Structure 1
Amino acid sequence: MNIEQANALSLPEILQKIGCVPVKDKGNDLWYLSPFREEKTASFHINTIKNVWYDFGSDRGGDVINFAQSYLQSQSEDYTPADALRWVNNMMLSPVSILYVPRDKPKETKATLTLSTVFELEHNGLINYLESRRISLALAKKYLKEVVVNNNNTGKKFHAIGWQTVSEGYEVRNKVFKGCIGSKSISFIRGKQIPAVEIHVFEGIMDFLSAVSEQKGQQFVGDAIILNSVSCLPQAFPYIKNYHYRSLYTWLDNDTAGLLATQALKELAEKEGILTFQAMNKSYSPHKDVNAWHMDKPKV
């Protein structure tokens, strides 16, 4: 695919691929909540006849490649024309099922919360929270940090566990809060084998840590992707497609969104041809997720 071919692709279809649907449909004029930021009033417009877009919130617009560049920039990714072309090609090859995975929103925006400090886990409240989820401190310290977060609206600070994302932001969580610092994106965890031939996809970090706990704390041989939200599933595709992986395992929730995301990844494996696929959710059914199953098991 070249740039001219990419610009001939339907912008509404590309928006669907990243989970955006119009909130106003006026025939040839479609209005969306901007894919570049969190907002409550639709400010992103597509003219379907000209196949062009304009984002009133950032005062910019253009064609398909311009959109891909702006979207990649908003996700803190490289956004040269070559990067945009590669992204568009990957998106158009992704399974259609991804269109119907519901999006969820972080409780706070990146403008509200900022990161103060990052250090080793030591806060008793956070350690107790991890223990309540049946995650040992020794295991947690391998993958998690303690972070101090500033709430710029209230001027207050709070402690949370944190783990880094591929966009160099942080997912943060404690007993009463779950959110992110920076752009919402996936996390990638390298396995024992390099290069790995297996890739495991989890929805949340607690599910991943629970699966590792079930292996007596032993690191996965294969690599792992933590989605941090099913809405981030499209970001995982470029990490799986056309790589050295031969097996794809999914550990997603036993709910509608999780099952749809599982189906989307199954379709990806089938399209790749060389990827064997295994959904692990039956192994922790009827529980909703891996962590709930892990917590319900008798202590040994």
Structure 2
Amino acid sequence: MIMDKLNICPNHKTKNESFYPSPFHPQQLPTFSIKTNTNEWYDESLETGGTLIDFVCAYLAFQKEASTKADATRWIYNMVRIPEHLPLALQGNEKRHQREDAPLVFKKAGLIEHLGLIRYLEKQGIPLAVAQQHLKQVYILHKKTRKHLFVLGFDNEEGGYELRNPFFKGCLRPKALSFIRGSVPGTATVHVFKSCWDFLSARTRNIAPFKSDSLVLNAYECLGQVYPYLQHYGYRTLYSWMDHDAAGRQATAYLSHSIHSIEGLHHKTMSPVFAPHRDVHTWHLARLGNAEA
């Protein structure tokens, strides 16, 4: 399946083995083989082989990209897109999102300079210095209304954006989670937030330190994308910041269940920090004395 995704076709096949042009050579020499019964590979020119994870690590390194086992797991997930089972209440309405987002056309993105967006950030309790690190000023066209809009954009791992301004809320597809790498390589902690506002509120208050990695779901329907970002990465503690409501409790339970197989990773829910408020952002605004936006 991975070779199909790379658009590499076999030169020939036997009962137990398929032979391909090598993905590790610009000339694509026919030295690469895969055993069909074990899915193990071997490249004669490199005199090395191994499992699927080993192959992806080697392929990413050959492409001069990050090539840890965690990077390989994420790459496989993004290539194959194996769906994860989510509780029905946490699943998004894909058709609804496609219909809403189809009219939006991306034009350009850059630093936040629009005065209206800066004032919007102030109302949300987010300093411009924090916002500039994680948000972009995005210029879009709404094809149905023929209006051009300046919005705040929070990019995700699939090239899409969550979009916000005082009068507009939407996204440029594809819908996906966002991964923010911490300042310390190999950090042992990862924080999981529902929304960019929750994440930015936590960063503003420094309750999710910049040295830690963070995952922002952008929607509960993206919960199924979390696991590849945790497996093989060496995290010891996952801090989840889900909402104080039924959906948030389901999401917290889902995270606990999904990481059960990751040895040494412990889950700590952080909802007591912002209780009795619904979410981190609402709590942050209350602490500032702002009305909920």
TM-score, normalized by length of structure 1?
Answer: 0.65
Determine the structure 1 residue equivalent to 2:178: 187
Instruction: Sort the Cα spacing of 1:249 and 1:83 in 2 relative to 1 into closer, same or farther, 3 A.
Output: closer
In the TM superposition, residue 107 of structure 1 has moved relative to its aligned partner by 8.3
Contact in 2 for aligned 1:114/1:151 (Cα 8 Å):
yes
In the TM superposition, residue 264 of structure 1 has moved relative to its aligned partner by 0.6
5 Å matches for 1:74-223? 88=82, 91=84, 98-103=87-92, 105-106=96-97, 109-215=100-206, 219-223=209-213
Secondary structure at 1:162 match in 2: strand
User: Which residue identity lines up with residue 198 of structure 2 in the other structure?
Assistant: D
Instruction: Sort the Cα spacing of 1:85 and 1:164 in 2 relative to 1 into closer, same or farther, 3 A.
Output: closer
Taking only the aligned residue pairs, the percentage that are identical comes to 35
Contact in 2 for aligned 1:114/1:149 (Cα 8 Å):
yes
5 Å matches for 1:24-63? none
Deviation string, structure 1 residues 205-251 (Cα, Å, up to 9, x no partner): 110110011118x8522111111000111112211123221111101
Deviation string, structure 1 residues 30-74 (Cα, Å, up to 9, x no partner): xxxxxxxxxxxxxxxxxxxxxxxxxxxxxxxxxxxxxxxxxxxxx
Counterpart of 2:286 (choices 266, 272, 296) is: 296
Unaligned runs of 5+ in 2: 1-71
User: Which residue identity lines up with residue 294 of structure 1 in the other structure?
Assistant: H
Determine the structure 1 residue equivalent to 2:4: none
User: Which residue identity lines up with residue 90 of structure 2 in the other structure?
Assistant: V
Structure with larger Rg: 2
TM-score, normalized by length of structure 2?
Answer: 0.67
Instruction: Sort the Cα spacing of 1:112 and 1:224 in 2 relative to 1 into closer, same or farther, 3 A.
Output: same
Structure 2 distance, partners of 1:237, 1:110, is 27
Determine the structure 1 residue equivalent to 2:241: 251
Instruction: Sort the Cα spacing of 1:185 and 1:85 in 2 relative to 1 into closer, same or farther, 3 A.
Output: closer
RMSD: 2.6
Secondary structure at 2:149 match in 1: strand
Structure 2 distance, partners of 1:199, 1:111, is 33
Secondary structure at 1:272 match in 2: coil
| Of 99-108 and 198-207, the range deviating more from structure 2 | 99-108
In the TM superposition, residue 83 of structure 1 has moved relative to its aligned partner by 5.7
Unaligned runs of 5+ in 1: 1-77
| Of 152-161 and 240-249, the range deviating more from structure 2 | 240-249
Structure 2 distance, partners of 1:298, 1:130, is 13
Structure 1 distance, partners of 2:79, 2:171, is 28
Contact in 2 for aligned 1:98/1:234 (Cα 8 Å):
no
Q: Are 2:247 and 1:262 aligned?
A: no
In the TM superposition, residue 182 of structure 1 has moved relative to its aligned partner by 2.0
Instruction: Sort the Cα spacing of 1:255 and 1:107 in 2 relative to 1 into closer, same or farther, 3 A.
Output: farther
Aligned residues, how many? 214
Secondary structure at 1:270 match in 2: coil
